[in-house]
Amino acid sequence: MSWKIWSLKKSPWVFHVNAGACNNCDIEIVDLLTPKFDVERFGVKLVGSPRHADALLVTGVGTRQAAKRVQEAYRQTPKPCVVFAIGACACGTGIFNTGYHVVGPIDKIIKEVDPNAIIAYVPGCPPKPEAMISGIVKALSAL
């Protein structure tokens, strides 16, 4: 394993992108940083700019308005990076499947920019923090 990948696994900084979520998944993401789960133990840090990030946590169905912004945020993220589709909506648009404003799911939107993007799916409405930690571990061990 090269040192780049090893250090990436030890300190994944995440940036949170809301692509039309109902805010439920977002609250659960913030849960990860609280004393009960404390993902800073594993070097995970929430950063303010996609340029500092190694992983994008995308929540929501991917609306027409948000899709362009998600693609731009992905372009602005230095590679190598991982995209997480957090929640049922992001994984497969969920109950909003036939909505007039939906262009998602997230993997389709990201693959328009980069067909080889690494995308991990964490289903649930909202996914439990334990499920997100498990998803992060699985995605990082697949790198």
Partner 1 sequence: MAAVYERDKRGKKMSEVFESLFWILIFPGFLFTAVFGLAASWIVRKVSALVQWRVGPPLYQPYVDVMKLLGKEILIPENAQISIFVGAPIVGLAGVLLLSTMLWRITIEPTRPFVGDIIVAIYLMVLPSLALILGSSASASPHAAVGTSREMKLVMSYELPLVLAFVVVIIKTAALTGQGQQLSLAAISRHTPVLSISGMLAFLVTLLCVQAKLGFVPFDIAESETEVAGGVMMEYSGALLALWKIIQAMMLVALPLFLVMVFLGGFGTAGWPLVGGISKYVLVLVLLILIKNTNPRVRIDQAMKFFWVYCGITLVVAVILATAGNYYGIGWL
**Which residues make up the interface to partner 1 (CB under 8 A)?**
3-4, 7-8, 10-11, 35, 38, 40-41, 43, 47-49, 51-52, 54, 76, 78-80
Nearer to partner 1, 51 or 138 (CB): 51
Nearer to partner 1, 13 or 123 (CB): 13
Cβ burial of 133 (10 Å; 0-12, 13-18, 19+) is middle
**In angstroms, rounded to a whole number, what is the distance separating the alpha carbons of residues 22 and 110?**
20
**In angstroms, rounded to a whole number, what is the distance separating the alpha carbons of residues 29 and 47?**
13
Nearer to partner 1, 3 or 100 (CB): 3
Closest to 22 (Cα-Cα) out of 56, 83, 66, 54: 66
Answer yes or no: are the C-beta atoms of 109 and 71 closer than 8 Å. yes
Residue 39 CB, nearest approach to partner 1 (Å): 10
Residue 78 CB, nearest approach to partner 1 (Å): 4
Residue 38 CB, nearest approach to partner 1 (Å): 4
